[in-house]
Amino acid sequence: MKGKLICIEGIDGSGKTTQVNLLAKALHDRGYDVIILREPTDGVYGRKIRKMIEEGKTDPEELFELFLKDRKENIEKNILPALKNGKIVIMDRYYISTLVYQSEVGIERILEAHEKISAPKPDLVIILDIPVDEALRRLKVKSCDSFERREILEKHRKQYEKIAKYLREKEKMNVVIIDATGSEEEVHKKVLREVLEVIKN
Ligand code: TYD
């Protein structure tokens, strides 16, 4: 495998998509061959997932099965071919999101299922970390709707921290948590520094 697999993760409102785009541009400007891929995808399963989420359906088992199918397709059609072609694949969410958002399924079971579908291991996972108050501000959540939202965001933020520790210790994965409270440019600089270190090696 010649390319590199870089995953950008974080709670809703952490600025993933902005940072993914800034990173892709910076790498492209440095002459790297870059592709951005997002999950859920725009494929059949990805569209089904988005519809479920919009309708407020959150059954972890059902979502887990769908995310796995969506991801398998993404791996076979997009991720592996791009890596084989030596590209830098930047993922806006990958199976780390499943470990956080569908945590009820269990870490071991989720990782085993991904091994079975031969999901390539990321070369680097960057978790953009922001306090929940800041995420709520960025998501423009009205204070009357914020109670439940806050609890969910708190849960996801804690789970990201736990998963980061687990993946580092048990899977020997390169996982970096970046403070994403600064300006877009400040955060971008930190992200780029981490990524360049990995792709230069
Ligand atoms: P999306 O519209 O892409 O939101 P965002 O910009 O925050 O990424 O929807 C993605 C939603 O799907 C997000 O709330 C997290 C959720 N998700 C999971 O629950 N499990 C997963 O494995 C993935 C990849 C995403």
Taking only the tens place, the pLDDT of each residue in 116-169 is 999 999 999 999 999 999 999 999 988 888 889 999 999 999 999 999 999 999
Question: 40 C-alpha to center of ligand 1: Å?
Answer: 6
The sign of the CA dihedral 100, 105, 111, 113 is: negative
> For 92, what's the count of Cα atoms within 13 Å in the CB-facing half-sphere?
21
Q: What is the pTM of this model?
A: 0.96
- Give the 3-state secondary structure of residue 111: helix
Judged by DSSP in three states, 124 sits in strand
Q: Kindly report the protein residue whose alpha carbon is nearest to atom 1 of ligand 1.
A: 40
Neighbours of 119 (CB within 10 A): 20
Tell me, using a 6 A CB cutoff, whether residue 58 lines ligand 1.
no
Structure confidence at residue 141 (pLDDT): 87
Q: What is the pLDDT of residues 79-126, one digit of tens each?
A: 999 999 999 999 999 999 999 999 999 999 999 999 999 999 999 999
Ligand 1 pocket test, pick from 94, 101, 149 with the greatest ligand atom count within 8 Å of Cβ, gives 101
Contact 155, 38 (CB under 8 A): no
Read off the tokens for 132. 């929940």
pLDDT of residue 144: 82
β-partners of residue 35 are 89
Q: What percent of the chain has pLDDT over 70?
A: 100
CATH superfamily of 4-200: P-loop containing nucleotide triphosphate hydrolases (3.40.50.300)
Delimit the domains of the chain by residue range. Answer: 4-200
Nearest to 23 by CA among 67, 81, 89: 89
pLDDT at 1: 62
Q: Lowest-pLDDT range, 1-5, 16-20, 100-104, 124-128?
A: 1-5
